[in-house]
Amino acid sequence: MDITAIQVVPGPANYYSHPGALTRLADFYSEEQLSHAVWLYGERAIHAARPFLPAAFSQNGARHLQYGGHCTDPDLAELAQAAGDDRQVVIGVGGGALLDTAKALARRLSLPFVAIPTIAATCAAWTPLSVWYNAAGQASHYEIFNDANHLVLVEPEILLQAPVEYLLAGIGDTLAKWYEAVVLAPEPKKLPLTVRLGIDTAATLRDVLLGQSEAALADQQKGVLSQDFMDVIDAIIAGGGMVGGLGERYTRIAAAHAVHNGLTILPQTARYLHGTKVAYGILVQCALLSDEAATRQLIAAYQRFNLPTTLAALGVDVNDPAQIDPVIAHTLRPKESIHALPIPVTPESLRAAFLHVESLGQ
């Protein structure tokens, strides 16, 4: 097994997650530097973050760019031109798609990057990579940068006020770190220590999320900034990113994400977030591997959290060939990560896994 090309980027140079964290921007950048900042943000994101932003946001000379798309070559070229000359830092405020774009913009301009996440649906603020999209709005590839993000500032009060759907998606996507890593690295003792550290981190995240998510979700509903809520958002943003940063390709994606990709071809699933569909994909992966105990454990947890346990909950009829056959075909494309499983997966076995999860999850 080739273990010589693992790139280890454990995390950003600086990470702060606490009430008032955004004020730390001034600890790293002077007024002069911030007067030459590029602020990139989404419309809803800046509305949520504005009450917590430091005065530097309104600094004379700073460039403010509102953006609502994904990371694409044409849009990035326009953003780089709009940023202008003599910029000194790029500050992204928003969710995963916005932060991916801001990260790419910072690298295009050869500037340090500051991430201010406004939702806890992904680890995008932590990870030094961007997912790129084509003109048709489809994910085309991801780019891993050679340098870490410089500063991540998490204001938990912003995340506390965000719609619960984003936190649920983050829980689902981060749970997949463990269930997919154990597939990708079945013999961790033969791999570098950094990979094993990544897998151990994934196991810790699994335990935190299964043990504390229910309380965290309840606390968010009540508007209570509790330890459970803080642990869960840090698990998603920092922990999820750390797993991939330590283990690289041995701790990334397997069948759960392939099932997600298959589901995206059905229009009715578009309203469900990435992590929500990945959460369902974990169940299918467990069924494919005949891990009945894990499947039942996760279904019980999902039912407490309000994550989907059936295709019906995602608007898909498992018994309708016109719906399920295209999902199966897309999930089993030769390039999909489902083929990382230690068993061959056929259309028949995948259909059986969907049906099995449906019967357990109802």
Instruction: Work out the average pLDDT over 187-199.
Output: 93
pLDDT in tens, 282-293: 999 999 999 999
pLDDT of residue 4: 55
| pLDDT beyond 80 at 10 | yes
Q: What is the DSSP string of 211-245?
A: HHHHHHHHHHHHT---HHHHHHHHIIIIIHHHHHH
pLDDT in tens, 24-61: 999 999 999 999 999 999 999 999 999 999 999 999 99
Q: How far is CA 13 from the centre of its chain?
A: 19
In degrees and rounded to multiples of 5, residue 142 shows phi and psi of -125, 150
> Exposed e or buried b for every residue in 259-285, given b needs 16+ CB within 10 A?
bbbbbbebeebeebbbbbbbbbbbbbb
Name the one residue in this structure whose structure tokens are 């897998």: 199
pLDDT in tens, 109-140: 999 999 999 999 999 999 999 988 887 766 77
Q: How far is CA 359 from the centre of its chain?
A: 29
Cβ–Cβ < 8 Å for 148, 103: no
The percent of the chain in helix, strand and coil, each rounded to the nearest 5, is 55, 10, 30
Instruction: Give the pairing of strands 37-41 and 15-17.
Output: unpaired
More confident of the two residues 18 and 73: 18
pLDDT in tens, 289-320: 999 999 999 999 999 999 999 999 999 999 99
Determine the 3-state secondary structure of 298 from DSSP. Answer: helix
Retrieve residue 237's tokens.
């943003």
What does pLDDT average to over the chain?
95
